[in-house]
């Protein structure tokens, strides 16, 4: 039987703060460093099946061929692409980077970059009107100012709609 009288029940609360430190490894590590230092998306092509590995990885997930270390077989993407889909986030969400509730609403887009890989990020600029959005619109990566970059994917400010 469920008991509704909470006074008879003991439930204790704790707030835990736990530190994590994740290793990026030489492949993703290089990607993040190049993003931070040069504002470029560096990727590697799988020597086996010729797919672009985005993010760069030590092996290809589908053919399991080992990918060479930077810079052999690496190149940078144009940062330009096409809008595939988007969503307007209106539900208050915790930002996993900070634990704080993220300001909403905001627009999140999914793009196919010109080199053929898909990628998701914020859509901008901030005053972008959702009603303007159409599938197939051209988008372009916009970086944060160099002094604000941290070697994270959020070093990209957003993807800007290129058409008027």
Partner 1 sequence: MARRVAIVGIGQTYHRSKRPDVNIGELSAEAVRAALEDAEVSANEIGAYVTGNMELFEGRYAQDMWQADYIGAVGKPGIRVTTGGTTGGTLASVAFEYVASGVYDMVMALGFEKQSEGDTRAGLKTVADPLWSRWYTTGAIGYFASQARFYMKQAGAPEEAGSMVRLRLAKHAALNPHAHLRLDLQSVEQIMESPYLIPPLRQMDMCPTSEGACAIVVASEEKASKMARKPVWVKDWISVHKEVVYIRGERHSVADLEMAAGKLFQRNGITRPMEEICVAEIYGPCTWAELEWLEAYGFCEKGQAWRLEEKGQFYLDREFPVNPSGGVVCTNPIGATALIRVAEVALQLRGGAGNHQIARRPTVGFSSAWGGSGWTVAHLLSATKD
Tell me whether residue 142 or residue 164 sits nearer to partner 1 (CB atom).
142
Site residue total, partner 1 (CB under 8 A): 43
Report, in Å, the least distance between residue 120 CB and partner 1: 6
Tell me whether residue 99 or residue 164 sits nearer to partner 1 (CB atom).
99
Give dist(CA 139, CA 162) in Å, integer.
5
Tell me whether residue 110 or residue 143 sits nearer to partner 1 (CB atom).
110
User: Do the Cβ atoms of 108 and 133 come closer than 8 Å?
Assistant: no
Backbone φ, ψ for residue 131 (5° rounding): -65, -20
Give residues 6-65 in contact with partner 1 (rule: CB under 8 A): 6, 9, 11, 16, 20, 22, 24, 28, 32, 51-55, 61-62
Specify the stretch interacting with partner 1 by CB under 8 A; choose among 34-42, 64-72, 93-101, 138-146. Answer: 93-101
Give residues 96-135 in contact with partner 1 (rule: CB under 8 A): 96-97, 108, 110, 112, 116-118, 120-122
Give dist(CA 35, CA 43) in Å, integer.
11
* 103 CA to centre of own chain: 17
The SS3 call for residue 162 is coil
List Cβ neighbours of 57 (8 Å cut-off, separation of 6 or more): 27, 28, 44, 67
List Cβ neighbours of 101 (8 Å cut-off, separation of 6 or more): 92, 93, 94, 95
Helices (H), 79-124: none
Give residues 64-83 in contact with partner 1 (rule: CB under 8 A): none
Choose among 129, 35, 43, 115: nearest CA to 82: 115
Tell me whether residue 11 or residue 129 sits nearer to partner 1 (CB atom).
11
Q: Which of 49, 50, 63, 94 binds partner 1 (CB under 8 A)?
A: 94
Judged by the rule CB under 8 A, the positions of this chain that interact with partner 1 are 1-3, 6, 9, 11, 16, 20, 22, 24, 28, 32, 51-55, 61-62, 84-85, 87-91, 93-97, 108, 110, 112, 116-118, 120-122, 152-154
């Amino acid at each position: 039987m469920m008991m509704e009288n909470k006074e008879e029940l003991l439930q204790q609360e704790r707030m835990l703060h736990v530190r994590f430190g994740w290793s990026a490894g030489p492949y993703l590590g290089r990607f993040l460093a190049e993003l931070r230092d040069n504002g470029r998306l560096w990727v590697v092509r799988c020597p086996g099946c010729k797919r672009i590995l985005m993010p760069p990885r030590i092996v290809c997930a589908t053919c399991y061929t080992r990918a060479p270390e930077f810079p052999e077989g690496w190149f940078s993407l144009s940062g330009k692409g096409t809008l595939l889909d988007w969503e307007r986030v209106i539900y208050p969400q915790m930002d996993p980077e900070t634990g704080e509730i993220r300001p909403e609403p905001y627009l999140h887009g999914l793009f196919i970059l010109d080199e053929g890989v898909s990628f998701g990020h914020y859509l901008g600029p901030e005053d972008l009107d959702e009603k303007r959005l159409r599938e197939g619109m051209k988008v372009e990566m916009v970086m944060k100012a160099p002094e604000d970059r941290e070697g994270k994917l959020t070093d990209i400010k957003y993807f800007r709609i290129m058409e008027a």
